[in-house]
Structure 1
């Protein structure tokens, strides 16, 4: 699998999990103006913007311990640490706080 496809697979997982965050993908061969504006020379590259300002740049796989086999969680933690993702937008954290209804004293454990 090509390195850009590896990053894309991880970002697809993160996009489904962090639905309040916009993830945008573009083909560098078709967006020359953007490549020039971002001074992009190495692929894959992930530029993370918060309020229009680049907050994090991830270029290549040097920052990942597993090389091409890094885990999505490692990518996610990097984005958390840099402030690009917040725990408020993480539905796995939100689901941990969903409570079930309190058991009534008249409730039985029997189904029928």
Structure 2
């Protein structure tokens, strides 16, 4: 049933009108709003091709923003690439740029899969509480223990109460 509705492949839709038709047909849709001249869109395309074959429960589409000015304005899409995550005909969430994917161009397909799983747009089998990019330890925040300081502390108190 899913395959007959266009699931299992990552394909381009020609117009805004087609977007609304596709979203009506399927329960879960990921739509990549892209521009040919944007390098990062090609990176995202590579990962979405893999995920479209793996997650048949979700329909994966792409739409050129230059062909969809009305839709981009309505969905408030300003950063390219943006993934619109549509569930039951309503836009639930967005993946804007690569910020949610570890803020790097060489994120893994698993990282994108995890992020889409967090929005329940595909069935993610891993632990949603642990992003895959945290285990790579390439980036992340290292917190150092800071010594506590108070404004009126006893540590450097030179005054004497015995005056």
User: TM-score, normalised on structure 1?
Assistant: 0.72
Pairing of 1:21-100 with structure 2 (within 5 A): 21-65=58-102, 67-87=104-124
Q: Alpha carbon RMSD of aligned pairs, Å? A: 1.7
Show structure 1 runs of 5+ residues with no match: 89-112
Runs of 4 or more, structure 1, over 2 Å off, are none
- The answer to whether the 8 A contact 1:56-1:84 is kept is no
Q: Which has the larger radius of gyration?
A: 2
Q: Which has the higher strand share?
A: 2
- 1:77-110: per-residue Cα shift (whole Å, max 9, x none)? 111122111259xxxxxxxxxxxxxxxxxxxxxx
Higher relative contact order (CA 8 A, sep 6+): 1
Show structure 2 runs of 5+ residues with no match: 1-37, 126-163
CA drift of 1:66 comes to 5.5
CA drift of 1:3 comes to 0.4
